Chain A
Amino acid sequence: MTASTETLHLQHADHQAHADAHGWRRWLYATNHKDIGTLYLWFSFSMFMLGGTMALGIRAELFQPGLQFWHPEFFNQLTTLHGIIMVFGAIMPAFTGLANWMLPLMLGAPDMAFARMNNWSFWLLPPAAALLVISLFVPGGAPAGGWTLYPPLSIQAGMGMDLAIFAIHLLGLSSIMGSINIVTTVLNMRAPGMTLLKMPMFAWTSLVTAYLLIAVAPVLAGAVTMLLTDRHFGTHFFKAAGGGDPVLFQHIFWFFGHPEVYIMALPAFGIVSQILPTFARKPLFGYVSMVYAVCSIAILSFMVWAHHMFAVGLPATAQLFFMFMTMLIAVPTGVKVFNWIATMWQGEMTFETPMLFAIGFVCLFTVGGFSGLVLSIAPIDIQMTDTYYVVAHFHYVLVAGALFSLFGATYYWLPKWTGQMYNEKLGKLHFWWSMIWFNVTFFPMHFLGLAGMPRRIPDYPLQFTDFNSVASVGAFCFGLGQLLFLYNVINTIRGGAGRAPARPWEGAHTLEWEVASPAPHHTWEMPPDEALVKKGLRAQLLDQDHE
């Protein structure tokens, strides 16, 4: 019976597709969640390439001590833009893109709740990226005080800073609209029979992430607006000369900034929680505890921001408070890691590329979590802050964490997106290549940090040379390997390793696998019937009541 509804459904979809715009109009006026998702993902990948090129510029300079390639000012612009572009241009839009593509499919909704707003959310991104790039060419150059935009440097900087501020306004607006869309879709448009506690984990993490964004993106917008008015309109929020306080900026920034790091981590948790059960052929272990862990991480993330500020002269009481709260976050994070491992435990595992990236994620994200715990100890952090140890920490959670999960997600859903299978050999090569060179690049940075090498410097004392050279070689190899990924994706679009069935992974039981591959332009215009939803839930052991 389900089969017949599906055929009907597909015919209907085909019929609709003809009414849609073609050529550039299809993309500029895009309101279809799949088209918008695709736009987001390509935008994110091009930002990844741009930010990656800047990273290679940084690593080239750091290959040897002394100044070889760049003036120190330009080096600082590179580190700053690299950070801003990777965070706001590459990682965040990629997750929003995935949410756009997959949430309606996974929840059984015909589209996102607000299709036109969705178009705006995306099309604000390219102008923002353009502003950032243009800032390189204005007098004074791009902002150079670090992605965290601390005053007084950000107040004294040239007009490139203003462009960056506007870019952040646009990016923030885009995030807020995207998030409103996600929350509304998840809350109001689920298929009958799919209650909140039966949703796929990726829907849960997207929902919580969207809430976080709605709460903190406006705070960042406020902070940069205050910077702007301090720069041009005579306010003194952060200007010590007028009675303001530069440290206040840090408080406001990190009130945004720490939840932000979880905005980049939670969707990755969701993706991994989809992939691991599929390839372990076992339901996700501890589904409800996963949900609670995600929610408690989100709530706690508002109470730890000053762990980025242990060295600014906080009173001991405040240091202790933030130290303990930060350590507390490790508890729900540990619950998640435990559940992932338990999901794999005695599973019938196979190691296709998405699974490799998911397992790589679990291993390396945990390493990043541990270095985070080290940094959360205030007396230790005072030694380590602003050293390469911090750089090592956040690249373990962001590259091996967020980025690896995105690679995993791409390989996992590529058959659904394109209707073709990717080249498994190349995929595995991409994984092992990335895994090895990632560690070659970033593991030595722990040692550099422990030995006292400060971050954001273009030149360094001789004793740091060896580890820096190793890291630079690693970075260039890692970067090169990403072309393999690009090739594999394009190759898949062009036919790849042959046609993909509707359900290319036999262990996958969420709703997106019930529609054809490639997913037709319009899906679930009629919500999936309850029997179909139930069937999937039963396979995931989610059919019992949890409440």
Chain B
Amino acid sequence: MNAVAHGANRRTAIRLGLVALAMFSFGYVLAPFYDVLCRAIGLDRARPEFATAIPTALRLEFDTNVADGLPVTIETLDRVVAAKAGGLVKARFRIANTGDQPLTIRAIPSFAPVRAAGLLQKLECFCFDALKLAPHETRDVTVVLLVAKALPEELGAATLSYTLQPA
């Protein structure tokens, strides 16, 4: 093999070797990185408010859906909320009519698990009434919940779900 080709091979090999080294370090970086990533995108289960042995907080997760074909979007602004025993919880949603027609819609609520039923009391909810949206209107709506004074030990999380339907 001539010298030029030899040099080219060496350069390629050194570059690839460096990539391998970088990936070795990357493995280690993954340890803190997962934490940061999860916190940043709100996927964090190990937040301090949940990390207590006595269940003083209930993890509330909000889920939203839109009926097929309805030109509406809904965004959950507070996806995960720590509900303190006896406290008030407020969750915000942003609903937008993406179509050119005025719309009347209604949110159908649902929740899981069933055992969460007695623990949360809806004081206010955008699902109580039908919503009228002008063409291209965006509106922020809320849900306010009162959390029971005593939370059962084994229930770590509850999910509340809202599905938008034409009214």
The answer to whether B27 and A188 touch across the interface, beta carbons within 8 angstroms, is no
The answer to whether A217 and B13 touch across the interface, beta carbons within 8 angstroms, is no
B residues less than 8 Å from A252 (CB atoms): 27, 30-31
The answer to whether B31 and A219 touch across the interface, beta carbons within 8 angstroms, is no
**With A188-B5, A316-B63 in contact, is A113–B26 under 8 Å at CB?**
no
B residues less than 8 Å from A255 (CB atoms): 27, 30
CB proximity of B37 to chain A, nearest CB, Å:
10
**B20 lies within 8 A of chain A by Cβ:** yes
The answer to whether B45 and A214 touch across the interface, beta carbons within 8 angstroms, is no
**A46 lies within 8 A of chain B by Cβ:** no
The answer to whether B20 and A217 touch across the interface, beta carbons within 8 angstroms, is yes
The answer to whether A215 and B12 touch across the interface, beta carbons within 8 angstroms, is no
B26-58 vs A, CB cutoff 8 Å, 1 = contact: the mask equals 111011001000000101010000000000000
Bound-state CA distance A313–B156 (Å) is: 12
Bound-state CA distance A176–B21 (Å) is: 10
The answer to whether B27 and A223 touch across the interface, beta carbons within 8 angstroms, is yes
* A 178-202 contacts with B by CB, 8 A: 179-180, 183-184, 187-189
The answer to whether B43 and A318 touch across the interface, beta carbons within 8 angstroms, is yes
Bound-state CA distance A318–B34 (Å) is: 12
**B61 lies within 8 A of chain A by Cβ:** yes
**A221 lies within 8 A of chain B by Cβ:** yes
The answer to whether B34 and A214 touch across the interface, beta carbons within 8 angstroms, is no
**With A114-B13, A183-B12, A188-B8 in contact, is A222–B28 under 8 Å at CB?**
yes
**A317 lies within 8 A of chain B by Cβ:** yes
The answer to whether B43 and A226 touch across the interface, beta carbons within 8 angstroms, is no
**Considering only CB atoms and an 8 Å cut-off, how many residues of chain B contact the other chain?**
28
Closest to A110 in B: B1
The answer to whether A180 and B21 touch across the interface, beta carbons within 8 angstroms, is no
The answer to whether A218 and B34 touch across the interface, beta carbons within 8 angstroms, is no
Interface residues on A, range: 20 to 34
The answer to whether A188 and B61 touch across the interface, beta carbons within 8 angstroms, is no
A residues less than 8 Å from B155 (CB atoms): none
B residues less than 8 Å from A215 (CB atoms): 19, 23
The answer to whether A218 and B43 touch across the interface, beta carbons within 8 angstroms, is no
The answer to whether B26 and A219 touch across the interface, beta carbons within 8 angstroms, is yes
* B 1-23 contacts with A by CB, 8 A: 1, 5, 8-9, 12-13, 16-17, 19-21, 23
Bound-state CA distance A221–B25 (Å) is: 10
B residues less than 8 Å from A189 (CB atoms): 5, 9
**A216 lies within 8 A of chain B by Cβ:** yes
B residues less than 8 Å from A313 (CB atoms): 45
Closest to A175 in B: B20
The answer to whether B9 and A218 touch across the interface, beta carbons within 8 angstroms, is no
The answer to whether A219 and B43 touch across the interface, beta carbons within 8 angstroms, is no
A residues less than 8 Å from B16 (CB atoms): 179-180, 183-184, 214
A residues less than 8 Å from B79 (CB atoms): 317
CB proximity of A124 to chain B, nearest CB, Å:
15
* A 202-233 contacts with B by CB, 8 A: 214-223, 226
The answer to whether B5 and A219 touch across the interface, beta carbons within 8 angstroms, is no
**A251 lies within 8 A of chain B by Cβ:** yes
The answer to whether B13 and A218 touch across the interface, beta carbons within 8 angstroms, is no
B78-94 vs A, CB cutoff 8 Å, 1 = contact: the mask equals 01100000000000000
Bound-state CA distance A216–B23 (Å) is: 7
The answer to whether B27 and A184 touch across the interface, beta carbons within 8 angstroms, is no
**A234 lies within 8 A of chain B by Cβ:** no
A residues less than 8 Å from B9 (CB atoms): 113-114, 184, 188-189
**With A221-B24, A223-B27, A251-B34 in contact, is A214–B12 under 8 Å at CB?**
no
**With A251-B30, A315-B45 in contact, is A184–B13 under 8 Å at CB?**
yes
**A248 lies within 8 A of chain B by Cβ:** yes
The answer to whether A237 and B20 touch across the interface, beta carbons within 8 angstroms, is no
CB proximity of A393 to chain B, nearest CB, Å:
26
Bound-state CA distance A407–B25 (Å) is: 37
The answer to whether B30 and A214 touch across the interface, beta carbons within 8 angstroms, is no
The answer to whether B24 and A222 touch across the interface, beta carbons within 8 angstroms, is yes
The answer to whether B12 and A188 touch across the interface, beta carbons within 8 angstroms, is yes
Choose one: A113, A187, A248; the contact of B31 (CB below 8 Å). Answer: A248
Bound-state CA distance A188–B9 (Å) is: 7
Bound-state CA distance A130–B57 (Å) is: 53
The answer to whether A317 and B24 touch across the interface, beta carbons within 8 angstroms, is no
A231-263 vs B, CB cutoff 8 Å, 1 = contact: the mask equals 000000100000000001001100100000000
B residues less than 8 Å from A188 (CB atoms): 5, 8-9, 12
Closest to A318 in B: B43
A309-345 vs B, CB cutoff 8 Å, 1 = contact: the mask equals 0000101111000000000000000000000000000
Bound-state CA distance A318–B43 (Å) is: 8
The answer to whether B63 and A218 touch across the interface, beta carbons within 8 angstroms, is no
**With A113-B13, A183-B12, A316-B63 in contact, is A214–B20 under 8 Å at CB?**
yes
Bound-state CA distance A438–B8 (Å) is: 46
Residues of A in contact with B (beta carbons under 8 Å apart): 110, 113-114, 117, 176, 179-180, 183-184, 187-189, 214-223, 226, 237, 248, 251-252, 255, 313, 315-318
9 nearest A-B residue pairs (beta carbon) = A222-B27, A218-B24, A218-B23, A219-B27, A184-B12, A180-B16, A113-B9, A315-B43, A218-B20
15 other A-B residue contacts (CB within 8 Å) besides A214-B16, A218-B26: A113-B12, A117-B13, A180-B13, A183-B12, A183-B16, A189-B5, A214-B19, A215-B19, A217-B23, A218-B24, A219-B26, A222-B24, A222-B26, A252-B30, A317-B79
A-B contact pairs, 8 of them (CB 8 A): A179-B16, A184-B13, A219-B24, A252-B31, A315-B43, A315-B61, A317-B41, A317-B43
